Amino acid sequence: MLAEQTAAAMYSRDAALKLIGIRLMAVRPGYARLSMVVRPDMVNAHHICHGGFLFTLADSAFAYACNSYNRNTVASACHIDFLSPAREGEELEAECEERSLAGRTGVYDTTIRDRKGQVLALFRGKSYRIAGEVITGLEAEDSRHRSAPSSRIEGNPQ
C-alpha cells in the first residue's frame, strides 16, 4: 500500500510523464511497470521512436521502483542498450525490478518490451537515497531498508 501511495504522490507531481503520456500500470516495493504509446511526434528521422523517449520510459520505471519505499531516491548512474526499434503506434511497457538494495544505494534493471513481448531496450540504473520522504510523515516501509537518519552526504551525486 505504501508503494502505491508513493507512486500516486509522485505521479501527481510528474509533469514530464503526463506530457509524454506515460502511464503507471503497477507498483510494489522495488518494482514498477509503466507503459507508453509511441506517438507521431516521438519518432525520429528514421521513422522509429527517438531513443530519448525510450530512455525516459525506462528511467521513469526505475524512479518509481526505487522510490517505492517512500524514501527520496535519485539516479546516480544509468545505462541503456537499444536492441530493437519501436515504431509509431506501438504500445511499450517498461518493467523495472530491484536487484540490490543496501544502505543508501540500489541497483535496478528495466526491460522495455512491445506488446508481442519483444525486448526493445535494457536499462540498468543505480540509485542513491537522499534526505527526506516522497510523502512527508508516512512511515517508510520495512526497517531493513533504513540506515542512519537521513541527511545529505557530502559528495551526493544529485
What does the alpha-carbon distance between residue 69 and residue 47 come to, in Å, rounded to a whole number?
39
What does the alpha-carbon distance between residue 50 and residue 2 come to, in Å, rounded to a whole number?
34
Q: Is 157 exposed, middle or buried (0-12, 13-18, 19+ CB in 10 A)?
A: exposed
Give the three-class secondary structure for 5: helix
Residue 30 CA from chain centroid, whole number? 10
pLDDT of residue 149: 32
pLDDT tens string, the chain, 158 residues long: the values are 999 999 999 999 999 999 999 999 999 999 999 999 999 999 999 999 999 999 999 999 999 999 999 999 999 999 999 999 999 999 999 999 999 999 999 999 999 999 999 999 999 999 999 999 999 987 665 434 433 333 222 333 33
Domain boundaries, the chain: 2-143
pLDDT of residue 150: 33
Please state, as a whole number, how many other Cβ atoms lie within 10 Å of the Cβ of residue 115.
10
**DSSP run (H or E) holding 18:** helix 15-20
The CATH number assigned to the domain with range 2-143 reads 3.10.129.10
